[in-house]
Structures are given as C-alpha cells and as structure tokens.
Structure 1
C-alpha cells in the first residue's frame, strides 16, 4: 500500500491568520495520525509564513509515524533538519517568496551541491528525497547524486487529468519505470486529490508515498478529517 503523508502547512496558515494557537497544529498532527495518516509533512519557508521553525521542533515529540520535512536546503533549513532529525528530508528548489513549489531540481546542473547536502543528511541517519519533474535525464541525475528517493512533481499530471487527458500520466509512468530500474524509491506530491489519486496510484509502479496538503485540508472542510483520511487510504490500497 502507498503511504499517505499529510502536509499540515495550511493548518499553520489558518492559525497564523489570527495569532494565538487555534487551530492547534500539534493537536491536528496527533489527530491525523490517530485517523490513519502514515506520516506528517511540513514545508517551512524562510519567512515562516505558515510553518514556523519552532513548529518543526515541537512536532518532533508529537509525530510518531513518519516525519517528513520539505524545503530548500539553505543554511538555516539544513541546521533545522539536522536538529530535528526527521525520518525523511525532501529537498525542494523553491524560490524565496514563492507561493508554492513550481518545478523540480535540475539534478545535472546542481549535482555537486545536492550531493554534498544529501551526504550530510545521510551521515545523520536521515533518508533523503528530492523533488523532480518526470524527466528521464533528471531521474538519472538523481541517481548520481546519491538520494534514496525522488518525489515526482505532479502538478502537470493533475492539470491534464482535470482536462480529461488521462494520457498526461505517461511521462510519469516512464519516469517511474526508470526510477525502479535505478533502485530509487518513488514519492509523489502536488495537486493530488481525492479525484485523481486512485488513477495516479494505479499507474505508477511501486509508488511508496504521497504527500498531500492543500487538497486534503480543503476536502476536510466539507467532509471532516477522519472521513477524508480514510477515503484516501482506501484509494491508496
């Protein structure tokens, strides 16, 4: 079964909108795991506009399933990950001020830089994953830098699926087949939802984990967290 890791950035956004501690981020993380989530994901940004660096530290004592911290490996982020020692770190090349992630790594141009960062995390017992587009050259580059996993950037798949173009999955299938041949674990995330997750999972061989935040939180406003978490789990079987 593909694991479901829930990105709780939007809970922090809602909390920060009013100040204080409502909704309680730690309680939400705890509840989501009780409802069946197999992991908690956060993506702190340099401006801390949603997840704060202190949240990452506080969650360490609450997350008993997989703990995944995403972000651009700048100095402060690297220090935070080394301090928290999550199960997994996912490296994302997001620009400062970006609303959300918009592209995967160029694993060829950034080979030396990424190799150095990944080796530092691995020396500290932290599994590494890097955010990549479904481009075969980038998958091959990921293997060369020594990461254990890739996370496929699925925005284009979701866009094509919404248009009714199911052939939009083809580049992801090819990328996944190559990743399997190279013994790279496969994660995926970005704009995956209850509408498209079953189709994606059924077509991607050996999909280990999906990270879902915006869609799941939005769906839960209508259906409730417990219901939505278990709806995802059923589709990921």
Structure 2
C-alpha cells in the first residue's frame, strides 16, 4: 500500500494568523497518526509563514512515524520579523538538528506561493551532490522534487537521490479534462523510468479525494504521497479522522 503522509503546513498557517499556539501542530500530528496516517510532512520556508523551525524540532521529538521535511537546500538563515518567533536557521541546519527519516529537497524560492516545479538537475545537480552526501551521512533518506521528465529522473539517480517526488500539479490541473489521459501517461512513463533505475517514487501537490485514486492505481510502485492543502479543507468539512481514513481508502 502507498503510504500517506499528511502535510501540516496549513494547520500552522491558521495558527500563525493569530498570536497563539492554537491550533497546535504537534496535537494535529498526533491526531493524524492516531487516525492511520503513515507519516507527517512539513515544509519550513525562510519567512516561516506556516511551519516554523521550532515546529520541526517539536515534531522530531514526538513522532514515532516517518517524518518528512521538505525545503530548499540552499535556503540561508533569515531574521524573523515577528515578535516571539525564532529566526530561521537555514534549511540544512534544521535537518542537521532533527535528522528526519526523509528530506525532500525542493527548488522553491522565497517569493513562490507554493512549490510549482521540479529541479533542473543539468543546472543544480553539481550543487546538490555534496548536500545529498551529507544527508546520507546523517542517516537521512533523500528525495528530490521532480517533474516527470526522463532525462531529469535519470540524473537524480546519478547524483545519489534515494527517491524522487513527482510534482503532480499538472496531473491535478488536467484531471477530468480531455488532456487527463495524456498527462497521466507522462507520470506512468516516469514511474517506469524510476523503477528501471532503482529509484523510489513519491508524489505530491494538489492531490485530493477526487483525483488520488486514479493516480495511485495507475502509477507504478508509488511508495508515498504527501497531501496537505486538500486534506485540511476536507478535515474542516468531514472531520480529521474521517478525512485521513478517506485518503487511506483512495490508496
């Protein structure tokens, strides 16, 4: 069965809209795990607009399921402009302190609203190589956020990635349209390449209760999906426990 990792960024975003610790990120992580989620994902950005570095430390200390931290490996330390919020220490410093089971490296910039493309490894591969080596020395599994492009997927294996996470935004956009099958085929082809070269396969972005079942039943050897935005909306509508179980049913 494909593992379900719940992304808690939007829970943190709600909390950050007030000067409070409510809703509690660790409490929601525990509730997701109790409902059957296989893992927890967070994506601490330098502006700490949702998940903060301190959240990562708290979660690392309490979780007994897979912890996946996403982020730009080149993100440098940044001063906090919010009273009571610690400075952002730099992405790799968070990983060095927490040593999560998995680190998903993502090429997002500070100005991006959300992650919207994978790495271009013809440009960034050499810079990523020593980072991947360090993460392996820390005992952390490395996944690279990637588009479903064969050449790029093969480069991910060459520089030492353990897995890739396919950016599924294009699939979600095409779902239900005349382009659905054609776009889905690009992800099926990408999964075939990953299987051929021994690269583990994750997926995430804009997956939801409507489009997840088709994707997970079509894409070969899918190990894990991470879902946050749609999950949070569904949890508001149907309750957190039912939302987790509904996503598990799709897998």
With the shorter chain as reference, the TM-score category is over 0.9
2:155 is aligned with 1:144: no
Structure 1 residue 63: Cα displacement: 1.5
2:112 aligns to what?
A: 98
1:163 aligns to what?
A: 177
Please give the alpha-carbon distance, in whole angstroms, between the structure 1 residues aligned to 2:50 and 2:178. Answer: 33
2:37 aligns to what?
A: 37
**SS state at 1:67 partner:** strand
In the TM superposition, structure 1's runs of 4+ consecutive aligned residues that sit over 4 Å from their partners are none
**Is the alpha carbon distance of 1:115 and 1:9 closer, same or farther for their aligned partners in structure 2, counting shifts above 3 Å?**
same
2:209 is matched with which residue: 191, 194, 213? 194
**SS state at 2:210 partner:** coil
1:181 aligns to what?
A: 196
**SS state at 1:188 partner:** strand
**SS state at 2:17 partner:** helix
1:85 is matched with which residue: 79, 99, 106? 99
1:115 is matched with which residue: 129, 141, 144? 129
2:204 is aligned with 1:208: no
2:4 is aligned with 1:7: no
Post-superposition Cα deviations, 1:138-180, rounded to whole Å, max 9, x if no partner, equal 1011111100000000000000004353312010000110000
Structural mapping, 1:60-79, within 5 Å: 60-74=60-74, 75=76, 76-79=90-93
The unaligned stretches of length 5 or more in structure 1 are none
How many aligned positions are there?
236
What is the TM-score when the length of structure 2 is the normalising length? 0.92
The unaligned stretches of length 5 or more in structure 2 are 77-89
Structure 1 residue 185: Cα displacement: 0.2
Post-superposition Cα deviations, 1:72-124, rounded to whole Å, max 9, x if no partner, equal 00241011101100000000000112110011001121111111110000011
Post-superposition Cα deviations, 1:38-63, rounded to whole Å, max 9, x if no partner, equal 00000000010110111100111221
- Over aligned residues, Cα RMSD in angstroms? 0.9
**SS state at 1:61 partner:** helix
Between 63-72 and 103-112, the greater mean CA deviation after superposition: 103-112
**SS state at 2:123 partner:** coil
1:226 aligns to what?
A: 241
Please give the alpha-carbon distance, in whole angstroms, between the structure 2 residues aligned to 1:192 and 1:165. Answer: 17
Post-superposition Cα deviations, 1:158-216, rounded to whole Å, max 9, x if no partner, equal 00004353312010000110000000000000000000000000111100000000001
Please give the alpha-carbon distance, in whole angstroms, between the structure 1 residues aligned to 2:230 and 2:44. Answer: 18
2:31 is aligned with 1:16: no
Please give the alpha-carbon distance, in whole angstroms, between the structure 1 residues aligned to 2:18 and 2:116. Answer: 28
